[in-house]
Amino acid sequence: MKRVPRAAVLICLLGCTTPVSFSQGPERLEKVAEGQYLQWRDGQPVKDTAQIWTIWRTNDGYEVEDKLPVDVGDSLMGMMGGAFDTNMSPELREDLKNSTMKTVINFQMSKQREIQTLKLNGRTFTDSKQIELANCNVKEANLVCKGREISAHLKNAVQSQLLYRYPFPLLFTQVLNQSRPATGQTISLTLVLLEEAKNRLQLAKVSGQLRSEGSEKMVVGSYTFNTDKFVLTFDTKDGRRTIALWTSEPGIVFAMEDSQFASGVRVLLGQYKKYSDF
């Protein structure tokens, strides 16, 4: 994948006539697309925020993998923990021992683009050990998420749409494909939010609304693209959350804004290479 100049992000809409075979696992049949999202603030790219993703076609549907950027604050905390371990209080030492940083989001979708599994992988601060932070599965109308210390279970979740708080726009592919309103219309939907509290997983079912704002031109650097804009709103324990999404017909999300972001921040698709239809 070519590196894109920081001053001007180029979206590469390059189609290949021959699918690319993948041999990393028995279920991965071919690479469908790959790309990179980057946070922008007030028209400028934010350093060290790139997340690199890949979509594979599988026997059952699709698999999406997103490699997260290294959190500078988390890395510093890990180094400090190793350097000052002997001088720490037992409570702080225990907190660092249980603290982790996320490295990969992986989820599998059916052919109808319904999320069936979602996994969060990461590593510990103290020894950089690779661990699985969460493993969620939708089975027989029930949603079960297994974590490091405790599992979360939600019944009758088959018609709900699973979301995680990390700003990865492709997590909204299911929402935009399963509940796509007509231009100017608003529809209601049920969401399940995967949350974390002190290394424990929580599943919260909430009611949301998705509204289509119609076509809108998306400007990325010196390039302009035709997109469809949608606005998703729902209430959480911390208040009303509003997410704006700009997408295209193939299902790729070009940009995302979130009321939880700092002022002026937007996640943009900076690189995109397509191998086959999604």
What per-residue confidence (pLDDT) applies to 158? Answer: 62
What per-residue confidence (pLDDT) applies to 1? Answer: 45
What per-residue confidence (pLDDT) applies to 253? Answer: 92
Residue boundaries of the structural domains of the chain: 20-274
What per-residue confidence (pLDDT) applies to 26? Answer: 41
What is the third-level CATH fold of 20-274? Answer: YmcC-like fold (2.40.360)
Token pair recorded at residue 92:
């702080």
What per-residue confidence (pLDDT) applies to 10? Answer: 40
* Residues with pLDDT less than 70, the chain: 1-26, 71-98, 156-159, 198-199, 221, 249-250
The torsion region of residue 189 among left (phi > 0), alpha (psi -120 to 50) and beta comes to beta
pLDDT digits (tens, 9 = 90+) for 61-116: 999 999 999 865 555 455 455 554 556 666 555 555 657 788 999 999 988 888 88
